[in-house]
Amino acid sequence: MSDSASSATGDSVDLNALLADSQVRSVLDELDRELIGLKAVKSRVSEIAALLLIDRARKQVGLAGAPPSLHMSFTGNPGTGKTTVALRMAQILHRLGYVRKGHLVSVTRDDLVGQYIGHTAPKTKEVLKKAMGGVLFIDEAYYLYRPENERDYGQEAIEILLQVMENQRDDLVVILAGYRERMDTFFKSNPGLSSRIAHHLEFPDYGPDELQQIAQTMLAQMQYRLSSSGAQALREYIPLRMAQPHFANARSVRNALDRARLRQAKRLFAQSDKPLTREDLMTIEAEDLRASRVFG
Amino acid sequence: MKITQGTFSFLPDLTDQEITAQIQYALDQGWAISVEYTDDPHPRNCYWEMWGNPMFDLPDAAGAVQEVRDARKAHPQTYIRVNAFDATRGFETTRLSFIVNRPSNEPGFGLVRQEGAGRNIRYTIESYAAKSPEGRRYE
C-alpha cells in the first residue's frame, strides 16, 4: 500500500492519518445523521470500525494476527433498519479494506434452496460466488431451517454456508437477519452457525419521537415538508398507528407518508382553479394526514 | 514436453496469485469466466469438458478461483484452462484463455507417417498419452 509510508514511521503509527485516508469517518457520520436512534447498533458499528483500523495499524508495524471474524446477525422487528445498516456495513468494511469490493448481495431462502435433490448446492454456491468480495445479507434466515421436514434442503444450504463462512473468511462477510424470537430458535437448533457469528446486533423498536424524526428525514429526502399543523397531526398519528396490528416501525411511517402524498396530490387537484406555488407542491397539510383510517 | 496454448503460452506457468489477478482483470472488463478440463492434449482438440456452468456477473475473482481449485482437486492429472468470454456485440467470443493446471508427466507427441498413393508421405502428430483410453492417460 502506497499510503503506508506516510502514516507509519518505523514502529509507530499515526492513527489519525489512518482514519483520514480510510474515509471511514464520513460513512460513520452519515450513519449517525441518517439513522435515527439505534444507539447500541451504532456503537457496535464504530467498535468494529475501530477494531479494523487497529488491525490495520498492527499490520503496518508488523504484528501478525488472524483477521477478525466479522459474520453478524441482525435481529429485530420489521422496519427497524436491518437492511439499511447492512448496506452501510458493506461500505464501512470496504473502506477499511476488510472486503475487496463492498457490494451487498441480499438474498432469502428462495435464492439459496433448490426445489429438488442436487439443486441446492449449485444454487447456494452461485450466490456465494456472487457475494465474494462483499457482504452476503440473508434476510429471514430462519426459513433456511425447517425442523418439521427432516428432508428439507435448507439444511444442505446451511452446511455449504458454514463451510464458506469458516474457510473463506477473508472473501466474504455473512449477515443473517430476521425477527428476534425466530432467530433465537434458529440459532438454538444450529449451534454451529451461532458459534461462527461473532457479532449479534439487536435492533430495538423505535419510540414515537424517533419515528417522528424518521418521518421528517424521509420527507426531507423526498423534498417535502410538513406544515406546523401537519407536524402536529403526524405526532398524533404515530401512537395511533403503533397501536394497530402489523405495525412495522419505519416502514409503516414510510407507507403513511406515501399515502399522505397521494392525498396531497388529490387535494391540489381539487383546488386547481388557482395557480400552485412551489410551497404548495412541497407542503403536506394536516388534512392529508387526518384523512387516514386510524383517526376514524 | 511442456504443452503450451492460449494467451500466456510464452510464459512460465502462472502462480495462483497471478491467476487471481488475470481473472479479476477479465471480470473488470465484464467478461464471463468458465473453467474447462481435458486429458487429450492435441492442439486441435477443441472439445474440452466444462467444469460447471460459466460464471456470469461476478464482481470478485475469489469465487472463480475457488472453482479452479475445486477442478484441480477433482482432476489433478488433466489440463485445466480458464476462459473469459466477451459478450459485447462485435466480439461475442473468447477474449482470454490460459492453462492453469497440467499433468505432472507430459510424454509429448510422436510423428506419424502415412504412405499414400505415388509414395506420397502425409505427416501428422499423435500424442503418446492419447494412446490409452480416456480417463487413464496420465495415471
DSSP A33: H
In angstroms, the CA A163 to CA A106 distance is 19
Are A168 and B66 inside 8 Å of each other by CB?
A: yes
H helix runs in chain B, sequence order: 16-28, 62-74
Are B60 and A168 inside 8 Å of each other by CB?
A: no
Contacts of B108 (CB under 8 A, 6+ apart): B1, B127, B128
In angstroms, the CA A225 to CA A282 distance is 6
Residue A159 in this model has a pLDDT that exceeds 60: yes
**Range of weakest confidence among A8-17, A90-99, B47-56:** A8-17
Are B63 and A103 inside 8 Å of each other by CB?
A: no
Nearest CB neighbour to A133, from listed B52, B62, B67: B62
Chain B nearest C-alpha distance from A103 (Å): 8
**Which set of grid coordinates corresponds to residue A187?**
440459532
E strands in chain B: 32-38, 49-50, 79-86, 93-101, 109-115, 121-127
In angstroms, the CA B49 to CA B52 distance is 9
DSSP B75: -
Residues from A in contact with B at Cβ < 8 Å: 100-101, 103, 122, 126, 128-130, 132-134, 168, 171-172
Are A128 and B52 inside 8 Å of each other by CB?
A: no
Q: Which of A246, A229, A238 is nearest to A286 (CA)?
A: A229
Pairing of strands B79-86, B121-127: unpaired
For A46-78, write each residue's pLDDT tens digit. Answer: 888 888 888 888 888 888 777 788 899 999 998
How much is the pLDDT for A273?
Answer: 79
| Long-range own/partner contacts, residues A213-221 (CB < 8 A, 24 or more apart) | A213/A36, A213/A37, A214/A36, A214/A250, A214/A253, A215/A253, A215/A256, A215/A257, A217/A34, A217/A36, A218/A253, A218/A254, A218/A257, A219/A257, A219/A284
User: How far is the first Cα of chain B from the last one, in angstroms, to the nearest whole number?
Assistant: 16
How much is the pLDDT for A9?
Answer: 54
DSSP A152: -
Contacts of A115 (CB under 8 A, 6+ apart): none
How much is the pLDDT for A261?
Answer: 93
Residue A11 in this model has a pLDDT that exceeds 90: no
Contacts of B127 (CB under 8 A, 6+ apart): B40, B41, B42, B107, B108, B109, B110
Neighbours of A8 (CB within 10 A): 20
In angstroms, the CA A214 to CA A129 distance is 36
Question: In a 3-state reduction of DSSP, which class is residue B40?
Answer: coil
In angstroms, the CA B92 to CA B107 distance is 35
Q: Which percentage of chain B shows pLDDT scores above 90? A: 87
How much is the pLDDT for A3?
Answer: 46
For A17-26, write each residue's pLDDT tens digit. Answer: 777 777 778 8
Nearest CB neighbour to A132, from listed B52, B53, B62: B62
Nearest CB neighbour to B58, from listed A122, A129, A168: A129
* CB-CB contact of B128 with B109 (8 Å): yes
Question: In a 3-state reduction of DSSP, which class is residue B10?
Answer: coil
pLDDT mean across residues, chain A? 87
How much is the pLDDT for A2?
Answer: 45
* CB-CB contact of A55 with A17 (8 Å): no
Residues of A with CB below 8 A from B71's CB? none
How much is the pLDDT for A178?
Answer: 92
Are B60 and A128 inside 8 Å of each other by CB?
A: no
For A202-214, write each residue's pLDDT tens digit. Answer: 999 999 999 999 9
- With a cut of 0.95, is the ipTM above it? no
pTM for this prediction: 0.83
Chain A nearest C-alpha distance from B28 (Å): 11
Probe site for chain B from A98, A119, A125, A132 (most B CB atoms < 10 A): A132
**Range of weakest confidence among A8-12, A172-176, A270-274, A286-290:** A8-12
Nearest CB neighbour to B59, from listed A103, A122, A128: A103
Are A101 and B58 inside 8 Å of each other by CB?
A: no
